[in-house]
Structure 1
Amino acid sequence: MYLHLGQDTVIRSENILGIFDMETSTLSTSTRRYLAKSEKEGRVVNVSLEMPKSFVLCSAPQGGETVYITQISSTTLLKRTGFMEELRNVNME
């Protein structure tokens, strides 16, 4: 399955390591440092020209990680992945 992040960017759902809300997750200094380091290393892809609402951390095919910054909210992205529905189904069993 694939997840559309905005503009012309689509990623494979199986490569997703985490989906994070930009506003709440960047309160942590360690998250801000990680994002700054990733930016410096060229591992950040900004898929939006608008104010970012979330970022998606993905495993990269060549190893390491890629950070995608998007204007789509983390809640919407989670719904699109179907991860929440899978969790509900597991909890119902």
Structure 2
Amino acid sequence: MYLHLGQSVVVPFRDIIGIFDMDNTTSSHLTRRFLAQAEREGRVVDVSGDLPKSFALCRAREGPAVVYLSQLSAATLRGRVESGTFE
């Protein structure tokens, strides 16, 4: 199964490490530092098209994990994973 993150980007369920709410998680300096480092390393893919509401941390085929910024809420993405819905 696959999860649609936005703007025609889908990732396999098995590659998802975690789905996080931007408002709740970016209040931590550790998360902000992690996201800044991922951005510097070119591991952030913005599929939000606007202000992101969530981000998904996903395994990459090779190398470190990739961060996908999504306009969909974390609750919506989690619901899709739990229900097996991929659209």
Q: TM-score, normalised by structure 1?
A: 0.86
Output the aligned Cα RMSD: 0.9
Task: Tell me the equivalent position of 2:51.
Answer: 51
The CA deviation at 1:49 is 1.4
Q: Secondary structure at the match of 1:49?
A: coil
CA distance, structure 2, for counterparts of residue 49 and residue 72 of structure 1: 11
Q: CA deviation at 1:50?
A: 1.3
Specify every segment of 5 or more residues in structure 2 that has no aligned partner in the other structure, as ranges.
none
> If each structure's helix is expressed as a fraction of its own residues, which one has the higher value?
1
Is 1:62 aligned to 2:62, yes or no? yes
- Whole-angstrom distance in 2 between the partners of 1:33 and 1:72: 22
Of structures 1 and 2, the larger Rg is shown by 1
Greater relative contact order (Cα 8 A, min sep 6): structure 1 or 2? 2
Mapped partners of 2:48, 2:23: distance in 1: 16
Normalising by structure 2, what TM-score?
0.92
Q: Tell me the secondary structure at the aligned position of residue 52 of structure 1.
A: coil
Aligned length: 83
Counterpart amino acid of 2:80? R
